[in-house]
Amino acid sequence: MKSLIFRTASTYLLPLMLLFSIFILLRGHYLPGGGFVGGLMAAIAFLIHSFAFGLKETKEIIKINPGYLMPIGLVLAVGSGMVPLFVNDPFLTGLWFEEPFRFIGMVGSALFFDIGVYLVVIGATLTIMFSITESV
């Protein structure tokens, strides 16, 4: 798998796909996309990189253990659901900023929830795939 073309291509592919996955994540509220798909895309991006360069290098790029992404994502999702509690709304009520942000659009608690899902999906998928690759 470690052919020169594949390697060269994946060097550029990784940032592109990651960018695309974030794009998919952010537009999810308005157009097809969202945390699940975005997370899966990002995970696939890292996987392709690991096929080209080996697991070790990919792990260096990610810097943190993908396993940690799962609790971070969960905390983010639960946290975004907890925010409405402070203004006496039920758990997971959607709250929004009044004005849209540039490039991102409307920002609200649902967006953070989706980011949480995104991180959990990356974390879970990568954990599964990496632990398998390591053991083979």
Partner 1 sequence: MIIAVLSGFFFAALLPLLGRFARKSVPLIFSFLPIALFVFFLTSLPLIKGGNTWISYHSWIPSFGIDLSFRLDGLSMLFALMITGIGALVFTYTAYYLKGHPYLDRFYGYLSMFMASMLGVVLSDNLMSMFIFWELTSISSFFLIGFNNEEASSRKSAMTALGITGFGGLVMLAGFVLIGHAADTYSITELLTRPEVLKSHSSYTWIIVLVFVGAFTKSAQFPFHFWLPAAMKAPTPVSTYLHSATMVKAGVFLLARFTPILGDTFWWNTTLITIGAFTMLYAAIHAIFRVDLKSILAYSTISALGILVFLIGIGSEKALLGAALFILAHALYKAALFLITGIIDHQTGSRDVSKLAGLRKVMMPVAVAGFIAALSSAGFPFLIGFLSKEVMYEAGLQFGEWAFLLTAILVLTKILLFVAGFWAGIKPFSGILPNEFQKVTLPSALLWVPPLLLGTLSLLFGVFPSIIEQALIQPVVSSMTGKESPIYLALWHGFNLVLLLSVITLLLGFFLYVFLKPSEKLFSKTLRFENISPENIIETIGSYFSIFAIKWTKFFQNGYLRNYVITILAFLTILTAYRLFGGVNIYIDWKQISVITPSEIIVVVLMIISIFFAILSTSRTASIVALGVVGFANCLFFLFYSAPDLAMTQFSIDTLTVLLFMLVLVKLPKNKTFSSKRIRIRDAVLSLLFGTLIAILTLEVFEEPSSSEVSKYFADNAYLLAKGRNVVNVILVDFRGFDTMVETVVLVIAAVGVFSLMKLDLNPSKKE
Partner 2 sequence: MEILLIIIIGLLHAGGLYMLLRRSMFKMIIGLILLGNGANLLIFLMGRLVKGHPPVIEDGLKVFTEIYADPLPQALVLTAIVIGFGLQSFAIILIKRVHRVLETDDLDELNSTDEEI
Q: How far is the CB of 82 from partner 2 (least distance, A)?
A: 22
Q: Give phi and psi for 88, each to the nearest 5.
A: 65, 30
Tokens at 27, concatenated: 């537009």
Specify whether the CB–CB gap between 74 and 116 falls below 8 A: yes
Contacts to partner 1 from residues 9-28, by CB under 8 A: 24, 28
Which window, 3-11, 12-20, 52-60, 110-118, contacts partner 1 (CB under 8 A)? 110-118
Select the residue interacting with partner 2 from 23, 36, 51, 112 (CB under 8 A). 36
Q: Which of 3, 4, 5, 30 binds partner 1 (CB under 8 A)?
A: 30
Which residue in the set 77, 121, 122, 126 belongs to the binding site for partner 2 (CB under 8 A)? Answer: 121
